[in-house]
Structure 1
Amino acid sequence: MNELQRAEYLSVLGVASYMPRFVLPLAPQPRQAELPPQEAAQPEPATPLQQMRAAVANPLPQSAAQMVVAPAEAGPAPQARATEAQVLRDIGAITEQTRVKPATQAAAVTQVAPPRQEVQPFVLSCWWLGEELLAVDSREPGAALPVEALFNNIARALGWHQLPREQDRLRWPLAENRFGPAADASEARDTCSSWLEAASARRPVKSIWLMGREARDFCAPVPLAQPVNDWNGIRVIAMPSLSQLLQEPQRKRALWQLLQKTYPEHTLPEKNRVK
C-alpha cells in the first residue's frame, strides 16, 4: 500500500493522520513510503493544422482515395538525365585511373635438372664363402696389392677358410663408351644395388661385407647408418677395402675388433689375428 492510499483509508475511517517533523527518541528509522506508479502521459491529439502539415511533408498517399486520384509523378527532365550520365562517366574514368593494376605475371620457373654426378670406372671383386658371407671389395685399378692373401687371412681367422668358395667380378660401367660422357652415379647405384639383390637371392648368405667407398655407395641395399645394419635378416657390414687395409695397416685393429663383436662364436684366439 502506498502513502496516498493509506491517507485516503485513514480519512474515510475518520482517523487524523500526521507527518512528524523530526525523529523522536528511540523511534525506528524512517523509510520512504511506496509511491504510486506514474501514469503514462497520453499524447495530445493533433490539431487540424498539424495534420495538414504532416500530409504535406509525407508525399505518400494516406488513403485509397488518394491512391486513385494522385497523379503520377513525372520522370526526371532530359537535362537532369544527361547530367547524371555525365557524372557517372566521370566517376568511371576516375576509378579506371586510380585502379591498382596487378603485378605482371612472374616469368615461368624453368625446371633445372640436378647436376650429373659422374663416376669414374671401377671394379668390384666378390667372394662367396658357403652360406656365411658375400664380400664385395672395391679394387683400385692398376694397384698390384696382395688383396687375395689378405682376404684369405680374414677368412681363416673366422674359421671360414674351408667353406665352398666362389668368386666373381663386376665392372662399371658394364659397357664402356670412350666417346660419351662418364656414367652417372644414379645409374651406377641402380645397377650395382640390383645386382647385389639378385646375387643374395640366388645365393642366400648370412652376412654381406661392403668393403670400400664404391661398394658402400653403390651396392648398399639399405642406408648404412651403423657399422652393422640389418637387411631382411642379413647383416650388412661396412668396412674398409682390402687395398686400404694394406695401405693403412693401423686400420686392421679396428676391423678385427668389429669382427670379434659381430662374430664372437667364429672369432679365433688372439694368435690368429689378421696380419
Structure 2
Amino acid sequence: MNENVKKYLNLFVEYLQIEKNYSQYTIVNYVHDIEDFFSFMKAEGVDQVQDVTYSDIRIYLTELHTKNFSRKSISRKISSLRSFYKLLLREKVVKENPFTLVTLPKKELKIPRVLFSEEIEKLFSISNVNEPLGQRDQALLEILYATGIRVAECCQIQVSDLDLTVSTVLVHGKGKKQRYVPFGSYAQDALERYLQDGRQKLMEKLSPSENHSYVFVNRRGKPLTPRGVRYIFDQLLKRTAMTIRISPHTFRHTFATHMINEGADMRSVQELLGHAHLSSTQVYTHVTKEHLRKIYLSHHPRA
C-alpha cells in the first residue's frame, strides 16, 4: 500500500477511534476492507485515493461477484469504503464520494438457527458440575442463554460487573456502550457455584503477576477468549451426540426468540440485546412466524 493511501487510512482509523468510538474489532474489519480495495486498485493502475472513479468501483464489484462473495460481505465492504470516502470528502481530500452512486445489494433474509427446548436440556445436562471446568462450562451456558449477550461481551465480564444480590450483570457492549442485563435463578446458581469453587481452583494455576478479575477463564486460569468459548461449545456438542450445528451466537438467537414467543415486547428485547436499531431485533419476529408456520403445516388437517 502506497504512502498516499496509508496516510488517509491512518486518518480514518483515528476518526473511527476518537469520533465514532468503534471497537477495535470493527476498526480491523474496516481497515481490511479498504486495504483489499486499494490492493485491487493498484493492480488496475490506480494508486491515489483521489483517482478512484465510479467505473473503477464497478470493476471491483465484478471481481467480488466473480470470487463468489456473499451479498452481505459485498455490502459490508462497500459500506466501509463509503464511510472512508465520506471522511475524505469532509476533509476536502476528494471533491466527491464515488461510493454514493453504488447501490448496495439486498441482504439475504436468513432465519437464525434457534435451539428447541429438548436440545437446550441436553446441552445443559452434559457438564460435570463437580469439576472446575464443568462448573465453568455450566455457568457459561447459563449466562449466555439467560442474557442473550454476545460472546465477546461474555468474555469481557469482570467479577465486579456481577451483582448477585439482584441478579444482574453490567455488559460492556459495542462502541463502549454499557447496559445492565438481568438473569434468572439457574444462571445465578451456576455462577455462584463456579465463582466460589471452580474459578478459584483454576486461578490457582496463575502466577501473582498474571492475576486478573475476568469471570470466565480457561484451564490455565487465563481469561477465556471468544475462540475458546467456541471450542468449549464444539466439545460439549460432541458429548451430546447431537448432529446439529450451533455456535455460541445461537444462544443469542434462542434467547431473543424465546423472549418474543413468551410475550416480551420488541423494545425490551432490543434493549436487552444491545441493538442500536429496532430493525436488528425484528428479524426474530420472522423466526417466530416460521416456527408457527411449521407447526401449522405439521398439525392442520388441511394444511
Pair in the same fold by TM > 0.5: no
TM-score by length of 2: 0.22
Higher strand share: 1
